[in-house]
Each structure stands twice: as structure tokens, then as C-alpha cells.
Amino acid sequence: MTMRVLIIGGTGLLGQHISAELTDRGHTVSAMARQAVSGRTVVLGDAQRMSEDEWSKTLEGFDAVVFAAGVDDRKAPKAPAEPHFHEGNVEPVRRLLDAARATGCGRAVVCGSYFATMNETHPEWKLADRHPYIRSRVRQAELARERTETEPSVAVLEIPFVFGSAPGRRPLWAPMVPWLTSPLPLFAPRGGTAVATVTTVAQAAAGALERSVGGRIPIADANLSWRDLFAHLATAAGRRPERTTIRRLPSSALRTAIQGAGLRYRLTGHEPGLDSRWLADLLLSELFVDTSVCRERLGVGGGDLERAFHDTIAASRSER
């Protein structure tokens, strides 16, 4: 069955790749953005400001919707941070899903965060209690769970660090490129993270819609230590692997750096989405997920991580 799909945040990194994947599969795709984009079918709208009635009018005629917008953990709004992340990640999804149910838009995908996965698999870390950003992502997942028994069928893709590129989008990793390409030694802390390519995220979103899958699904291509991840990025940046030594960054050094950043936030009246008091503990952990879940439930074939690393570095350089 072909679908007419609206992608909220369709001009962003994930939105562009999800749009391309769905189009390649024969679906009709429109993107929602705050302003018109040349060469794209764009529905104008601000997801954070739209009322449920406005959402209902916008969703008329669509079979499915993808929410690939929201605010990420890099934001450090004026304290307290809680309202900022709630208004950016929770309220738009609540209004959107209520409108989808009212208009008969029967399938939905929400691009969430793997920190919500970590909160569930490691309750002893108390992530939702400690970090306002993670609390907003957990609430997103709870909204989907509340609606799994009725339409729309809602899948929350719990996404880790993503690699790849898209026109007009500056990669998260761009600030690291000068360090990766310099003669300076490279350091990495203990711990690690799940990683995904933009291809995998796009395949997961399309699979969730086509299979009408609901619930929370961790998305990942691999689990890498920080050392291995930095080694891959250094190679993509042009360092020869046999001449690249990555030394262990002492945990105390990471804690000191993060505490210093936290002090600057407090002095300026800001609060980050990931609380500086607990961030080092988080980064020094193994933030790993089961990579088989998205493949089995959503039919994901997976992306080429090495190519995604190279694309990320290339895009970072072009934006410098």
C-alpha cells in the first residue's frame, strides 16, 4: 500500500533521508518546515507553536506522519531547562498524535533518543530524574505507549549518535575535525556508545510505517567504544590508521572539564539538557543497545558506517 506521508522536520538531516527512502519506495512525501525550500514540497508550519486544531487541518489527507523535529541535548536554555525541553519535545508530539487520531492519520513515527532506552535498561542511573533533556524523551516514549492500543500506530525510534550528511546541515561532529586532522595526540575516555547511519534511521522509519509497527525500538548499526569511534573518525579525516595512537583520557580530566562547563552555565543563568553534575558518569558508561531489534522488527538492512563516517567529515569540512 502506498501512503501519503508528512514529515515534520523534513528538511533536517534525518528528515531528508527519511523523505528520500519513502519516495524511493513509492510513497508520496511532503515536508513540514518553517520556511519554503527550493525544489521541495513543503508544508509551512512551526511544530512547536501549532495547536491541535491546526494540526488536524494540516494532517487532512495524510495516511502517516513522521516527527523528526524537536530540540536536542546540545541546547542550554535559560534556567530552568525543563519547560524548554518539554515544549520542544513533548507538547508538539502530544498535540500531533491527538490530531492524527482525530483525523484518521493511522500511522506515526517519532524520532526519539536512545537515552530513553538507557533510562529503561539502566534504572539505577536515574537518567530521567537527573537530566531534563532525557526526561523529555522518556515522556515522548510514554506518549507512544499510551497510544499503542488505538490509532495512530506509533513507533518511537530511539536513536543514538547518527553519522552521514545532508545538504545544508552542519554535522554535530564538525567541531572535532580540526583536532582530528591536527598533529596533536588523540585521547578518548573509557565507555562507548551505539551509533547509526542516516540510512539505517531512514530504513527504520519507512519500515515502521509500512509494517504499522508500534512501540519503542532502539536503532543502531553498531556499539563502539569511544576509542574505536574516534579511530574511525580520525581515519575518515585522513589520519593513517597505523600512525594513529589514541590514548586513554583519565576520567578525572573529563569530570574536571565538564564541571568547568557546568560552572559557566550557572554563572550565566543557563541550564543544559544533560546536567553537568551527572554527565561524566553518563559518558563514561557503555551506552550500548541491541542492534538486532531494528533489523528484526523493521526489516532494516543497515547502512555503511565507514562511508557515513567519511560523509560526516566531508560535510564538516565543507561547512567550516
CA-to-CA distance for 117 and 289, rounded, in angstroms?
8
CA-to-CA distance for 131 and 73, rounded, in angstroms?
9
Q: Which residues touch 113 (CB under 8 Å, ≥6 apart)?
A: 73, 133, 134, 137, 158, 159
Q: Which residues touch 264 (CB under 8 Å, ≥6 apart)?
A: none
Q: Which residues touch 183 (CB under 8 Å, ≥6 apart)?
A: none
CB neighbours of residue 306 within 10 Å:
13
- Domain range list for the chain: 4-318
According to DSSP, the residues that pair with 159 across neighbouring strands are: 113
User: Alpha helices of 237-304 — where are they, by DSSP H?
Assistant: 251-268, 276-283, 292-298
Q: Of 34-48, 249-263, 282-296, which gets the smallest average pLDDT? A: 34-48
**Mean predicted confidence (pLDDT) in 1-5:** 94
The tens digit of pLDDT for each residue in 117-140 reads: 999 999 999 999 999 999 999 999
Given this model, what pLDDT does residue 244 score? 81
The tens digit of pLDDT for each residue in 257-313 reads: 999 999 999 999 999 999 999 999 999 999 999 999 999 999 999 899 999 999 999
**Mean predicted confidence (pLDDT) in 48-74:** 93
Tell me the CA end-to-end span of the chain in Å, nearest whole number: 43
Of residues 318 and 299, more confidently modeled? 299
Considering Cα of 116, then 121, then 127, then 129, what sign does the dihedral take? positive
Given this model, what pLDDT does residue 34 score? 79
Q: Of 59-63, 70-74, 272-276, 289-293, which gets the smallest average pLDDT? A: 70-74
Burial class (CB in 10 A: 0-12, 13-18, 19+), 35: exposed
**Mean predicted confidence (pLDDT) in 225-235:** 96
CB 10 within 8 A of CB 20: no
The tens digit of pLDDT for each residue in 89-107 reads: 999 999 999 999 999 999 9
HSE (side-chain half, CA atoms, 13 Å) at 221: 23
Q: Is the per-residue pLDDT at 180 higher than 80?
A: yes
Given this model, what pLDDT does residue 240 score? 85
Burial class (CB in 10 A: 0-12, 13-18, 19+), 40: middle
Q: pTM for the full model?
A: 0.95
Grid coordinates belonging to 171: 554535522
Which pLDDT band, with edges at 50, 70 and 90, does 320 fall under?
very low
**b/e burial code for range 86-124 (CB count within 10 A of at least 16 → b):** eebbbbbbebbbbbbbebebbbbbbbbbbbbbbbeeeee
CA-to-CA distance for 29 and 17, rounded, in angstroms?
12
Q: Which has the closest alpha carbon to 167: 43, 314, 274?
A: 314
Strands 153-159 and 246-248, bridge-based pairing = unpaired
Considering Cα of 5, then 11, then 12, then 18, what sign does the dihedral take? positive
Grid coordinates belonging to 68: 523528526
Q: Which residues touch 265 (CB under 8 Å, ≥6 apart)?
A: 76, 271, 272, 276
CA-to-CA distance for 158 and 141, rounded, in angstroms?
9
CB neighbours of residue 268 within 10 Å:
11
**Mean predicted confidence (pLDDT) in 179-208:** 95
At the topology level, CATH places domain 4-318 in Rossmann fold (3.40.50)
CA-to-CA distance for 199 and 214, rounded, in angstroms?
20
